[in-house]
Amino acid sequence: MKQEQNKGADPRKKGDRSNKQKKAIGNKVLGIYLAVLLLILGVIGTAMFIVYQSENIGKQVAGIFEGIEEVQPEQESGSAEAEQSEKTHSVKGTGERKVTILSCEVLPDGTQFALKGEADAFPESDDNNLYLLAMKTYEDAVPEDAVPIARAEKKTSFMLKADILDNTADSRLYSKFVVAVKKDGKYEVLSTPQYITNPEALASYSEPYPKAESIKGLLVDPQKLGTSELDDLGVKQAAYNIPIARLLGPSTHSDYPTIIYNYNGKDYTLNGHVVSEYDYVFKTLSDKGIVITAILLNNKSDAYPQVIHPLSRGGNAYYYAFNAAEEAGTDYLEAVAAFLAERYRDEEHGIVMNWIIGNEVNVRSTWNYMKYVDIDTYAREYARAVRLFYNGIKSFNANARIYISLDQQWNRNLSSDSSYDSRDLMDAFNECIKEEGNIQWGLAHHPYSYPMTWPKFWELTGEAGEMVQESEDTSMVTIYNIDVVTNYLQKEEYLMPDGEVRSVILSEMGFTSTYGEDVQAAAFAYAYYIAENNQHIDSMLLSRETDDAGEVAQGLALGLSYQNGRRKYIYDTFKYIDTDEKDAYTEFAKNYIGIKDWEEVIIQQ
């Protein structure tokens, strides 16, 4: 929905030989003949065995004297002749993977990373080495002129180390890495690409994630930030949009100079006036002790088309897919991620701890435009962008959380190409992430009612009863059956690297007052208690503080106040719902829902 807020074993295995005695049969001459023949064969076999063992021992000794340690990074500045020699080798196709990657992590010194892996056996190759090759985020294959950045001796368990070169032109923070052997002068890739999965080890800011007093949150109205309304409402969580193209380019106001931000050896021009807006918003919210969620959106800019995915250019939508598929786009996105994460982690500018990448990305035709492609391709392109923002943000703010955004269309089996089912997309996205190194992404879900213009989400009659069910195969997920999502994320294949269930925030949801202010307030109270009693939901951000004219025209008067400033019935319900006075302000809702006690409908999850 639119948010208008601001503009193993040694491969050389030897088989055991056993000679069986044969019974003497026939005459004496034949017995003597066989004995002599066996003696001759035994002598020949022994000689061959000695030669075989000598060759293998020779190879092992030669390997030792070549100076190949357990781990040996390649020199960053080898001779030009040697480097050119390496670059003349092409790269073979990836084929069947023969190596399992166990981890790819920044080491405690913060300057190097280590990739650990294992294999039961290795293919034959030109030498006894494993090589580590680097690929850029946007690359689907190892470049033909790739030069190894590390090498190690072939072992069933191995480790390869290399420099990260953080914030340099050769930075590997966003790179992915493969293990290869050299065969006939060419590199044969043995593993799937792996990214660094603990970029937080590089962060100088490592304050713990704040513990909010409640899950109560709001999509704030920037026009009211200078008032006391947020204090009066007792808001604990807040969301705010950042269309990234607004940040790019020279300043538009003489009082706010252009910002030149240098990252990875390049200068980027940022609009100081626009940045000052975010400074004001995030500083104000932080000073109030509010946990901030920033929503990164990819709006179109004629001046910066490179941030738009190549399959998204030419479309007409609110927002577009991030371009992590090309070098120019990747460079800009890395710089934006770094700038925002570095700036919004202190008291001077405000502290942002939650970052959502995109908005309802399963609705590709409107909120994350890209030409229609199969769901695996779409998920892979989104996963590239999320990984990029993840590594960039967490390399500056260790405990920041990064979320993907999906709407309530869970399993509709849509016949049109305008959207993907959110469950299918999340499944495909999760597979992409796990394959290239599992990380702690979270889910920002939008469990609006079905239909969105109907606030009584608990009345499941007619089509709503068919669409909203207590099953993981339900077509739609509203707040009524939000446990379908949190239960789904408890599956083993969805757990985070530490075995914990992923964080879920309800980053956008709301109820219209079109059918009455009291109905809207009752719906909010019921929804809040559902979310509050689900241990896997970390926040619930109501959309919105003030009605939006465009939404009202669609029958969605979602605000706590009308556009003229008059407060609705829901205002006090929202204000007191997480206080000791909550019963007095939610008792009325029971009549609308048809219950005498909240325990009749609220279940601890």
Q: What is the pLDDT of residues 515-542, one digit of tens each?
A: 999 999 999 999 999 999 999 999 999 9
- Where does 72-195 sit in CATH, by number? 2.60.40
Residue 36 predicted with pLDDT over 60: no
Q: What is the pLDDT of residues 591-601, one digit of tens each?
A: 999 999 999 99
Single out the residue of 521, 354, 511 nearest to residue 442, CA to CA: 354
354: left (phi over 0), alpha (psi -120 to 50) or beta: beta
Contact yes or no for 408/476 (Cβ under 8 A): yes
Question: In the structure, what pLDDT confidence band is assigned to residue 12 with cuts at 50, 70 and 90?
Answer: very low
Contact yes or no for 558/545 (Cβ under 8 A): no
| Residues composing the chain | 605
Question: In the structure, what pLDDT confidence band is assigned to residue 605 with cuts at 50, 70 and 90?
Answer: confident
Quote the CA–CA distance of 119 and 180 in Å, as a whole number.
12
Question: Which residues, including other chains, have CB under 8 Å from residue 221's CB and lie 6 or more apart?
Answer: 5, 544, 545, 546
* pLDDT at 96 (0 to 100): 57
CATH code 2.60.40 region(s) in the chain: 72-195
Question: Which residues, including other chains, have CB under 8 Å from residue 512's CB and lie 6 or more apart?
Answer: 452, 453, 455, 520, 555, 556, 557, 558
Residue 392 predicted with pLDDT over 70: yes
List of E strands, 393-465: 401-406, 442-445
Q: b/e string for 495-520 if b means 16 or more Cβ within 10 A?
A: eeeeeebbbbbbbbbbbbbbbebbbb
- Where does 199-600 sit in CATH, by number? 3.20.20.80
Average pLDDT of the segment spanning 280-284 = 98
Quote the CA–CA distance of 565 and 573 in Å, as a whole number.
17
Quote the CA–CA distance of 501 and 366 in Å, as a whole number.
30
* pLDDT at 416 (0 to 100): 80
Taking the mean position of all CA atoms in its chain, how far away is CA 259?
Answer: 29
Sign of torsion over alpha carbons 66, 71, 76, 82: positive
Contact yes or no for 217/285 (Cβ under 8 A): no
Question: In the structure, what pLDDT confidence band is assigned to residue 5 with cuts at 50, 70 and 90?
Answer: low
Residue 408 predicted with pLDDT over 60: yes
Q: What is the pLDDT of residues 48-106, one digit of tens each?
A: 433 334 343 333 333 322 333 334 444 433 333 333 333 433 333 444 568 999 999 99
In order of 524, 547, 549, 562, the CA distances from 230 in angstroms are 18, 16, 21, 16
Instruction: Kindly write down the DSSP assignment for every residue of 327-377, as one continuous string.
Output: HHHHHHHHHHHHHHHHHTEETTTEE--EEEESSSTT-TTTTSB-----HHH
Q: Which two tokens stand for residue 359?
A: 């908005």
Average pLDDT of the segment spanning 392-420 = 94
CATH code 3.20.20.80 region(s) in the chain: 199-600
Q: What is the pLDDT of residues 168-224, one digit of tens each?
A: 999 999 999 999 999 999 999 999 999 999 999 999 999 999 999 999 999 999 999
Classify residue 246 by its DSSP letter: G
* pLDDT at 393 (0 to 100): 98
Quote the CA–CA distance of 172 and 391 in Å, as a whole number.
11
Predicted TM-score (pTM) of this structure: 0.85
Q: How large a percentage of the chain has pLDDT more than 90?
A: 81
* pLDDT at 4 (0 to 100): 54
Residue 256 predicted with pLDDT over 70: yes
Residues facing 265 on adjacent strands: none
Question: Which residues, including other chains, have CB under 8 Å from residue 346's CB and lie 6 or more apart?
Answer: 205
Mean pLDDT, rounded, of the chain: 88
Residue 42 predicted with pLDDT over 50: no
**Is the bond leading into 544 cis (omega within 30 degrees of zero)?**
yes
